[in-house]
Each structure stands twice: as C-alpha cells, then as structure tokens.
Amino acid sequence: MVEVQLADGRKLTMQAPATGEQAWGSLVKGDSMPVAYKQCGRLFDMSRPIEEGSAVEFVSADSEEGREVLRHTTAHVMAQAVCHLYPKTKLAIGPAISDGFYYDFDTDKTFSSEDLQAISDEMSRIATQNTPLRRVELGRQEALEHFRQKNQPYKVEMLEQMTDETVSLYRQDDFEDLCRGPHLLSTGCLGAFKLLEVAGAYWRGDERNPMLQRIYGTAFETQEALEQHLAKLQEAKERDHRKLGQQLDLFSSQEMIGAGLVLWHPNGGRLRTTIEDFWRQEHYRRGYELVYTPHIAKSDVWKTSGHLDFYREGMYSPMDIDGQDYYIKPMNCVGHILIYKSRLRSYRDLPIRLGELGTVYRYERSGALQGLLRVRGFTQDDAHLFCTPEQLLDEIVGVVNFVDFMMLERFGFKYRLYLSTRPEHSVGTDEDWARATEALKSALQKLGKTYEIDPGEGVFYGPKIDVKLIDALGREWQGPTIQVDFNEPERFDVTYVDKDGQRRRVVMIHRVVLGSMERFIGCLIEHYKGDFPLWLAPVQAVVLPVTDAVNDYAVLVKEHLRSVGLRVETDLRSEKIGQKIRDAELQKIPCMLVVGKREREANSVSLRRRKQGDLGSLTLDALRESMQREVDNPTVENQSEKGGESSLEDRSFQGAVSR
C-alpha cells in the first residue's frame, strides 16, 4: 500500500503503484479529470505513479500549467497528423508556448492554408480514436539508434547533445516523439484547437542551419475559451503596428537600406517629433540637461566600461580608423560619464541629470526582427543621474514619479513593476549589488508600489526596476527601466568632492522613461489602434471643401490654424465630399473641417469629429481656441478601452460648438 498526501491536507491509502488518475478517481466522481498532477514542484502525467512523501496537487485544464500540458499534447497530435499526410516528414521540436503551441517540420511540401485545414481534420480524426499516450523510457544510446533507423536527424542531434543516460519517449498509436512530458491521458482528452499560420524558422534559430516550416496553433479546454482567444487575436491583428504603419504612412523598413533599420515617413516623423518635443520639455522642467554624444567610439572606452567583455555579442564588428578600432555604440552611458568627468564636480553640483535621445545599434538575428519592436538601430530616451549615496533614494523616487506622469497621465498606460536582480554573468561586489537592490526596493516601498521579483534579469552592471506597459488588450510591453550602477563609476573613476574636500565615488542611475522610441511608438500605435488623441495625431485636422469654388477658403482655414502650430492639411481633390470624409476616417484624422459657401461667408467651419459625426458650425477663432486647449491640456480617460478615443477631449469641442 502507498499513502498519498494531498495539498489540501487529506490523505489516501491506495494499492501501489497509485497513479494520479487512480487517486483522483477515488476522490471525485463525475468531475472532469485533471490534466496532470504536481509533486515537489514538478508536473507529472496522470498515468504516472505517485511517490510517497511530498503533497500532491492536481492541475486543472483551465489553469496556466494545465493549458500548457493540453497544448503540448495538441502539438504532438498535430505532428502525428502531418506524418500521416506527409510520411517523409522529419520532425524537429514542438513545444507549448504562451497562448498556444508550434511544431517545426522539415518536408518538401510547402504548407498552405488548405493544408492546415487538412491537418486539422486529421487531428480531429485522431482525437476521436481516443488513443492513450504512453511514456516509454530508453537508454540514450538505444534511443539514438532507434531514431537513426527512423531517419529522424533532428531527434538524433538532440540526443547527441544530451547528457542524461535515460530519456523518455511518448507514443500514441503509430506516432512517437522524444519528449519529457507531461501529456494528457489520451488523444480523446484534447480540448478545442485551431491551427493559425505557417512561418519559416531556422533549426535552433541559426541562419546557417536548414529552414524549417513552423505551424502555429492554439488550444483551450473549451470551445468558448478558444473563441474568446481567437477574437482577441483578430483584434490584435487589426492593431498590428506594421499594418497600421503602412495604412497611415508612418514608417517603413526596406531591404535596400537593410533589415531592422527604420525609415520614418512624414506622418511618422510628426508623431515622433511631437513625442520628442514633449519629452524635452518635461526633462528641462525636472532639472535635466540634454546632451549629444557621438555614434562611434574607440575600443578603449568599451573595454573600460566592460561592454567588450559582457556585451560583445550585441555589438557590431569594429571599424579601423587611423589604425585604431572604433565601435558603433550599443549604449549612451559612456558618453554621459565622460561629459560628467570633463571637469571636477562638487557635492554642491549634485545631483546632475544628463539626458539624450541617443541612437544606438545592437545586433539582432534577422528572424527576431519585428517592425518597430525589434530593430537593429533605435533611439533611447536615455538619461544618467549622478548623485551622492545620500541622494540615491530620492532620485529613484523622482524617476518613478516621472514614469507615472508619462505613462499614466499622458499616454494612458497602466503598468506592472518588476525588480530584476543579479544575473549569472555580472560585475561588481556582492555588497554593491545588495546596496543597489535595496535602494530600488526602498524607493518602491516608499511610494507604496506593488512589484514582483524577477530573479537574475538585471543587467551585467546592476539591478533594475522594469516597467512593463499594459496595452488595450492586456498585453505586456517592455517600457521604462531604472538601473542603479556602482560598477561604471568604479571603472571610470567617477567622483565628486565632498564638503570635507575629499574625493568620493559618485552613484549612477541609468534610466529611460519611454524606452526605445521605436518600440514605444510601435506599442503606442497598437494601444491606440492608430486612432491617436488630438495632441499626438500626425494630422490633427483636414479641411474638406465641398466644391472647388471654396478651395481658396479651405487653404485660408489651414493657414489660420497652422499659424498657431496646429497640424492641418487640406484635401483639394475634385472628389465628392462623402468620399473625402471616408478617406479622412480611414486615415484616422481626429477632426474634419467641412467648408462650403455658407462657411466662407460666416468665417466658420462645419466640424466633424471622428466616430461622432457632425458636431455643427464653429467659428475659426472658437475652433482654434478649442483645439489649442485640448492639445495643451490633453486628458487621458479610458484610453485603453476606447482605442484612443477620449470622451473628455470630445466634450471640449462640443462645448465650443455654436448651435
């Protein structure tokens, strides 16, 4: 007999070997079978025997871990279906991932959308057979010979690199796969699934290896949960910044100039300039000084900073200039350090806050590049704060408050906070790391902020606060970071003179309050669905003449509004007014100013607001004042729920409309 202890304190005495399935069956009658059980922090198949000792926790299909088991098994069933339809297929890997699964295949067949439907149909047929999944353990050498005979070179390569003497396979009818598990009891336990798309993927992510075909899919425990997820995917597709970037003519990335390098078009340039001008204004208001540093620097500075030792894989190859190696910069910090060191600093000068919209260049594999989100050249809204140890806490608090203002008040993002601690490969003493981590923690606690610890995710020179932005669909995006650095001041001998005339080591804070401008704007596009509030919109208003006879008045309206800095265009095409309005709506222009003979005579416009329609007649002066008021004092209200439309902004216009 074996005694099984459950997580809720109950105990069962069962005939050995007692499996998870048997334990559940002795407890509950009629309820859905869990997909796995957990013991000592590990997940096990329900068919695996339970070991005496630690408590057993059952894992339901609708939990995060349960869905991972469900999706992993669905990936195996998909691979089985592919092998049935295309018997010469060679199998690579097929893990569960966030919100779904994929499997990589090496086959002469180029998968199409019709093929995905055929594969899906075969998966459904396999599910109806309700075939058990059986775990089989083999010696590694035996498994190697087994997969060599089956002509599965990717499995052979994986086994050759393993060190375990025993490995596990999972078998279901005529299909088997090298896998640690766990898996569902049978193919009949699959929930609702959907195959989504086909993409290319290099084996092991290396461009020198074969290109494989990757089929992505998702699976949930119920059809309802699947449909909710698919609706969310559709919404995400409509918000895709690459699609909207093309539609709104914001940016492009072209092969001739190079992958991962962004060309900002006029509309994107206006959007970015608006954000950057606001950024500069707020930094000056908070006591920062803005600087500029060169794009390349001698290798000596990167040796001193430690980047060549700890970050070389992210840097591009050096250029030979006058017999010396120069590197294009991956970071802005060293330039700011050298500006600080350009003269002797007193404790009375501190804190010194240096900011820069500095463009940096970091290597990314071509397969990782994604629109504005992963690029090879990007601009960071970088700043470095130099302070005394006594000033450190207040400076961190000031940066967190700055993040609150930028994200919550101005751009309409909620966020989650993570405290990222020392990674495996790092520099500096344990004492300095502990001091830096404690300073970040104390600042968050002083502000009453809720945060999570993210172990080992700090940078090589110090711990950090990571701010993950939450967009309109609830997705997390990498945003601001705040990093305390005792290491660089030591390496560069960065000091100040204290009140006793002694040289003391400065404390340095690295921080961004937006992050990469490219990534932030990509996130912003998706958050607002390209439907920007008035202060951000690249074109804030377009003047639409009803007939060519009032084109001159349309130009006058445009110039009147442009004279106070508003971004206004005219549509002078010989199109019907309905077509012009539709085109302006597609371009997501917030305000449409319709003008005809009556408006010219009254020196007014007929105002249409996007998603609201006709708001009535408005004099030019009243229009100008209302637009300026909204641009100068934007108010965020439920931006994430409205996809960029703000009811407060709309009311500011309505109050100015003359009825």
3-state helix, strand, coil in the chain (%, to 5): 40, 30, 35
181: phi > 0 → left, psi -120 to 50 → alpha, else beta; which? Answer: left
Q: Which residues are within 8 A (CB) of 185 and not within 5 positions of it... i.e. 6 or more apart?
A: 21, 33, 45, 46, 47, 132, 133
Task: Provide the pLDDT for residue 426.
Answer: 85
Delineate the domains of the chain, giving CATH numbers in brackets: 2-60 (3.10.20.30), 65-232 (3.30.980.10), 263-528 (3.30.930.10), 541-654 (3.40.50.800)
Alpha helix positions (H), 189-291:
223-239, 241-247, 266-285
CA 220, distance to chain mean position in Å, is 23
pLDDT band at 15 (very low <50, low <70, confident <90, very high): confident
Question: Token match 């992505």: residue?
Answer: 216
Beta-bridged to residue 327, according to DSSP, are 297
Range in 4-18, 53-67, 262-276, 429-443 with the lowest mean pLDDT:
4-18
Place of tokens 């104390």: 442
In whole angstroms, what is the distance from residue 592 CA to residue 541 CA?
6
User: Does 396 score more than 70 pLDDT?
Assistant: yes
Structure tokens at 152: 């599965």
- Using DSSP bridges, classify how beta strands 289-290 and 352-361 pair: parallel, antiparallel or unpaired: parallel
pLDDT band at 28 (very low <50, low <70, confident <90, very high): low
Residue 55 has pLDDT above 80, yes or no: yes
pLDDT band at 653; cut points 50, 70, 90: very low
Average pLDDT over residues 334-363: 97
End-to-end C-alpha distance for the chain, whole angstroms: 86
* CA distances (Å), origin 543, targets 25, 289, 343, 533, 659: 71, 40, 54, 18, 21
Is 643's pLDDT higher than 70?
A: no
Q: Which H or E run contains 442?
A: helix 430-446
- Strands 451-454 vs 414-420: parallel, antiparallel or unpaired: parallel
CB environment 371-390: b (16+ within 10 A), e (fewer): bbbbbbbbbbbbbbbbbbee
Residue 654: its pLDDT value, please? 35
Provide the pLDDT confidence category of residue 41 given band limits of 50, 70 and 90. confident
Give tens-digit pLDDT for 472-497: 888 899 999 999 998 899 999 999 99
Roughly what angle, to the nearest 10 degrees, separates helices 266-285 and 517-528? 110
Res. 6 pLDDT band, cuts 50 70 90: confident
> Active-site residue numbers?
333, 362, 380, 382, 384, 464, 510
What percent of the chain is modeled with pLDDT above 90? 81
CB atoms within 10 A of CB 129: 11
pLDDT value for 650: 36
Indicate the Cα dihedral angle 355, 480, 359, 394, nearest 10°. Answer: 20
- What integer is the mean pLDDT of 58-70? 94
Strand, helix or coil for residue 3? strand
**What's the average model confidence in pLDDT over 619-632?**
94
Q: What is the rounded CA–CA span in Å between residue 89 and residue 196?
A: 20
255 phi/psi in degrees, rounded to 5? -60, -35
Give one word for 204, left, alpha or beta, with left for phi > 0 and alpha for psi -120 to 50.
left
Q: In the prediction, which pLDDT does 657 show?
A: 34
CB atoms within 10 A of CB 368: 13
Kindly indicate the confidence band of residue 29, based on its pLDDT and cuts at 50, 70 and 90: low
φ and ψ of 28, to 5 deg:
-130, 140
pLDDT in tens, 528-586: 999 999 999 999 999 999 999 999 999 999 999 999 999 999 999 999 999 999 999 99
Confidence (pLDDT) at 400:
96
| Contact of 620 with 638, CB cutoff 8 Å | no
pLDDT of residue 240: 95
| pLDDT value for 635 | 67
For 288, the token pair is: 């920062």
Cα 4 to chain centroid, rounded: 43
Given a cut of 60, is residue 272 above it in pLDDT? yes
DSSP state of 494: -
Identify any residues that bridge with 44 across adjacent strands, giving them in sequence order.
37
pLDDT at 597 over 50: yes
Predicted local distance difference test score (pLDDT) of residue 186: 95
pLDDT at 638: 40
Tell me the whole-structure pTM to 2 decimals.
Answer: 0.83
Burial of 10 (C-beta count, 10 Å sphere; 0-12/13-18/19+): exposed
Inform me whether the pLDDT recorded for 646 exceeds 60: no
pLDDT in tens, 217-232: 999 999 999 999 999 9
pLDDT at 5: 77
Amino acid at site 557 = V
Q: Could you tell me the CA-to-CA distances from 292 to 108, 275, 337, 382, 515 in Å, in that order? A: 53, 18, 12, 11, 17
**DSSP string of 316-334?**
PPPEEETTEEEEE-S-SHH
